[in-house]
Amino acid sequence: MDNSSTTTADSWSTPLPVVAATGLGGIALLAAGWLSALDPGGRVLLTVAAAVLLVYAALGARVRPRLAVEGTELVLGGIRGTRRIPRGQIVSIVVTRTVRIVSRSTLLEIDFLDDAGGEHMRVLSRWDLGTAPDAVLDRLDELGFVPPKEYLPPQEH
């Protein structure tokens, strides 16, 4: 499948309503922390929790989109700006699932090479993408960004 002339502008990022709700939650915790004058320990904990929520909200608002397709490149948004990855430098794109005692996580892992040949990995969660990583993987596969998986036979020791 040759998608070298892809002109779609598919992009994924944290939904703005979620970012706004996170920011409002941070403001509410900050207010509650400063209004709890009788409990200094509670004030500290609420203030720290508020700071964490406000940082998450700021990052969600600042780093948009987290992942986008522009022509024949993937565009990865990050704190230090965007990184453009040509299709030929993508090593693999996979979805990984982990199950812990009480939690499950699904992540989209993008392995790619930089211009000097160094390998890098970017890991994006549902929070980053605003949708299920499986759906993003399927769309990237439709657009021809997912390289075929190579079969490596088991090595004998």
- Residue entry with tokens 């904990």: 45
Reading the block at residue 138, the tokens are 């399927």
Domains: count for the chain: 2
For the stretch 58-98, pLDDT in tens is: 999 998 899 999 999 999 998 888 999 999 999 999 999 99
In a domain, 154, yes or no: no
Which amino acid would we find at residue 68? Answer: A
Does 123 share its domain with 75? yes
In a domain, 107, yes or no: yes
How is 66-134 classified by DSSP, letter by letter?
Answer: SEEEETTEEEEEETTEEEEEEGGGEEEEEEEEEE-SS-EEEEEEEEEE-TTS-EEEEEEEHHHHSS-HH
- pLDDT of the residue at 97: 92
In a domain, 138, yes or no: yes
pTM: 0.78
- pLDDT of the residue at 124: 95
- pLDDT of the residue at 152: 54
Question: In the chain, which residues have pLDDT < 50?
Answer: 1-8
Does 95 share its domain with 134? yes
Does 129 share its domain with 108? yes
In Å, what is the CA distance from 80 to each residue of 48, 60, 64, 105?
A: 24, 14, 12, 26
Does 130 share its domain with 93? yes
Gap between the Cα atoms of 53 and 55, Å rounded: 5
- Structural domain of residue 93, as residue ranges? 64-142
In a domain, 32, yes or no: yes
Gap between the Cα atoms of 49 and 59, Å rounded: 16
Does 69 share its domain with 57? no
- pLDDT of the residue at 3: 41
Does 45 share its domain with 75? no
Does 96 share its domain with 107? yes
Does 49 share its domain with 68? no
Does 121 share its domain with 91? yes
